[in-house]
């Protein structure tokens, strides 16, 4: 069954909708300056409403390693997602200083070279995306044929296209990630989230 990650959560009702939709991963943008950024304290507070089976993913963009270590050390997040220009040295340092926290590295896919870099990454998991900040755009999914490891698919997904995207993604797909695709007027939409999850979790 495909895992569903709802990202960019920033309100109490977002978490309620996520649970009602059967989400598996809850993403929180913890680098300041983005539309959906939240403070670590918000995640700490909202976590009380999340059952243990829903993993909390902290999303960081070119964040100083020490900031991530501090947040991870407070047990605010379960997984670390890197959505910037973090290189292999950065990932290795993070693995050494935050043992036990799985690291997801995001790759913006524009061509075959990006797929090659994803295949070679030392991150625990890779996420293939179309852009930064919830662009709402699809990338060329024909490039996915070159992926040789488990990955999460993101970028431009919504309740209307997620089933087809999963069907065409190949054997290494383990999950899908959505943010703006389940929003209305900039806020999470309960019905869209439920439809997205339902369509993503169908058996193919």
The secondary structure of residue 176, as a DSSP letter, is E
**Which member of 14, 78, 129, 177 is catalytic?**
129
User: CA-to-CA distance for 103 and 101, rounded, in angstroms?
Assistant: 6
**Catalytic residue check, 129:** yes
**Which member of 7, 14, 159, 177 is catalytic?**
7
Instruction: Cite the DSSP H helix spans in the chain.
Output: 12-21, 40-46, 65-73, 88-97, 112-120, 162-168, 190-200
The secondary structure of residue 6, as a DSSP letter, is E
**Catalytic residue check, 7:** yes
Q: Would residue 69 be called left, alpha or beta, if left means φ above 0 and alpha means ψ between -120 and 50 degrees?
A: alpha
25 phi and psi, to 5 degrees? -130, 135
CA neighbor of 127 nearest in space, from 165, 160, 174: 174
Could you give the residue numbers annotated as active site? 7, 129
């Amino acid at each position: 069954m495909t895992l569903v990650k709802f990202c960019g959560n920033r309100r109490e009702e977002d978490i309620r909708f996520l649970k009602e939709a059967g989400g598996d991963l809850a993403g929180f943008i913890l680098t300041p300056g983005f539309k959906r950024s939240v403070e670590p304290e918000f995640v700490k507070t909202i976590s009380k409403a999340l059952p243990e089976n829903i993993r909390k993913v902290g999303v960081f963009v070119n964040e100083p390693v020490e900031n991530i270590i501090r947040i991870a050390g407070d047990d605010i997040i379960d997984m670390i997602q890197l959505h910037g220009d973090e290189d292999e040295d950065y990932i290795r340092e993070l693995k050494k200083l935050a043992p036990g926290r799985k690291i997801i590295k995001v790759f913006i896919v524009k061509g075959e070279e990006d797929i090659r870099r994803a295949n070679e990454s030392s991150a625990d998991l890779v996420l293939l995306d179309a852009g930064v900040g919830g662009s709402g755009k699809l990338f060329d999914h024909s490039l996915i044929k070159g992926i040789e490891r488990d990955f999460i698919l993101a970028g431009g997904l919504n309740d209307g296209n997620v089933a087809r995207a999963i069907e065409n993604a190949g054997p290494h797909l383990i999950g899908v990630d959505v943010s703006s695709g389940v929003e209305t007027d900039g806020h999470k939409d309960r019905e869209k989230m439920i439809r997205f999850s339902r369509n993503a979790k169908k058996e193919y």
